[in-house]
Amino acid sequence: MTIAIDVTPTARRVPESFLDLAECPRAAVLTTLTKDGYPQTSVVWCDLERASDDADDLLRINTMAGFAKTRNMARDPRVTVLAFDPREPLRCLEIRGWVIDMTLDGAGAHLDAIASKYMGRPVRYFGECIPARFAESELPVLCRIRPDRIVANDWRTPAGRGSSGGAAVPTSVPAPGVPAPDGQPFDRAADVAMPPSHLDLLTGQACGVLTTIFPSGQPHSTIVWVDLERTAAGEAVATIDGRPACALVNTTLERWVGRNLASSSNASLLVVDPENTARYVQIRGDVELVRDGAVEQLDAVTRRYTRHPCFYGHVYPIEQLARDTRVIARLHARRITVDAIHA
């Protein structure tokens, strides 16, 4: 099941059946845009300012004045929030929109209120959620996001499988080669290695959030299976022959993810620990699209995430294989961050 709400003169509202993913979801992933054009993705707390029948819903997040995401939103208001439960990631809510308000007024009260919602009891954020001393150096900022597009996906149902918030395009779209979109080879010397402490997030059964950039400049986030480049023996390690191993995502050139990456290699991948949402890894960098071995790699990932031996013929109909141009998105990390700041 996919529900897509476009920009129209009517109010943009979260579907009733997905309200739980807008009001204090277990994981809300905010993507902002850095000044050099990369998506920056992080886990945030959010809640919903439910509108009257003739007005837009507003999504509210609370951040701190000195954080990079706050500076990003002040410079470029285009954002995307993907909300889901990491223990059941096939049901998710994507809200693409604009930050229409960033204010200090009422931010402290909202932070306490949203902390109380997440904790399930009345709390003060400074002093109960994090040490009180941080109140001396951190200044809460309340941000309101107005949706331009709301996409509610439930891939648990047959009708929702394969939905990505965008229609397919003809399979005659030429596949990008190994070089970056500007025609220059990727600089492997600039790659950053994954910390060994978080390799398990890429090699287990946790789903990730991949964010790419639409040609319009709006970030687009979607739930994906993730993998890590392996040694010849199939071992998952941080470096291979002295160079950092790349995170891998399998997609098609016909979906928005592939189409976006064909026009801009900038992307981010965030993987949240399903058992502890304060533990995560964010990888920001450049994507190289590779066709060779894409179906085989997809089948290997399918066996890890499901009980099926292969993707086409089990997860998707075998007929779909002829319509898809499969590629491996190899993410060359330029920056890696791990875990919530106050975790």
Query: pLDDT for 271-308, tens place per residue?
Result: 999 999 999 999 999 999 999 999 999 999 999 999 99
CA distances from 157 to 90, 152, 154 (A): 9, 13, 6
Would residue 325 count as lying in a domain? yes
The answer on 46 and 91 residing in a single domain is: yes
Give the lowest-confidence range in 26-35, 164-173, 174-183. 164-173
The answer on 106 and 25 residing in a single domain is: yes
What pLDDT sits at residue 164?
Answer: 35
Stretch 320-329: mean pLDDT, rounded? Answer: 94
Would residue 164 count as lying in a domain? no
Three-class SS state of 269: strand
The answer on 231 and 152 residing in a single domain is: no
The answer on 144 and 223 residing in a single domain is: no
What pLDDT sits at residue 342?
Answer: 74
Residue 181 identity: P
| Local confidence band at 167 (pLDDT 50, 70, 90 cut-offs) | very low
| Local confidence band at 176 (pLDDT 50, 70, 90 cut-offs) | very low
What pLDDT sits at residue 52?
Answer: 74
The answer on 224 and 328 residing in a single domain is: yes
The answer on 184 and 323 residing in a single domain is: yes
Stretch 233-238: mean pLDDT, rounded? Answer: 88
Residue where a domain terminates, one of 103, 132, 159: 159
- Taking the CA atoms of 255, 260, 261 and 263 in sequence, report the sign of the dihedral they define: positive
Bigger pLDDT: 182 vs 74:
74
pLDDT above 60: residue 168: no
Closest CA to 210 of 92, 98, 295: 92
What pLDDT sits at residue 71?
Answer: 97
pLDDT above 90: residue 186: no
The answer on 188 and 145 residing in a single domain is: no
Would residue 208 count as lying in a domain? yes
Would residue 165 count as lying in a domain? no
| Local confidence band at 50 (pLDDT 50, 70, 90 cut-offs) | confident
The answer on 215 and 69 residing in a single domain is: no
Domain assignment of residue 7, given as a range: 1-159
pLDDT above 50: residue 314: yes
The answer on 188 and 140 residing in a single domain is: no
Stretch 28-34: mean pLDDT, rounded? Answer: 97
| Local confidence band at 158 (pLDDT 50, 70, 90 cut-offs) | low
Q: The domain spanning residue 220 has which CATH number?
A: 2.30.110.10
The answer on 214 and 131 residing in a single domain is: no
Give the lowest-confidence range in 116-120, 186-190, 214-218. 186-190
**Antiparallel, parallel or unpaired: β 78-85 and 27-33:** antiparallel
CA distance 330 to 327: 9
**Confidence (pTM):** 0.89
Which positions ≥6 away from 151 have C-beta within 8 Å? Answer: 2, 3, 4, 5, 93, 94, 96, 165
Would residue 255 count as lying in a domain? yes
The answer on 98 and 203 residing in a single domain is: no
Average pLDDT, the chain: 88
pLDDT above 50: residue 334: yes
The answer on 149 and 197 residing in a single domain is: no
Which positions ≥6 away from 343 have C-beta within 8 Å? Answer: 278, 279
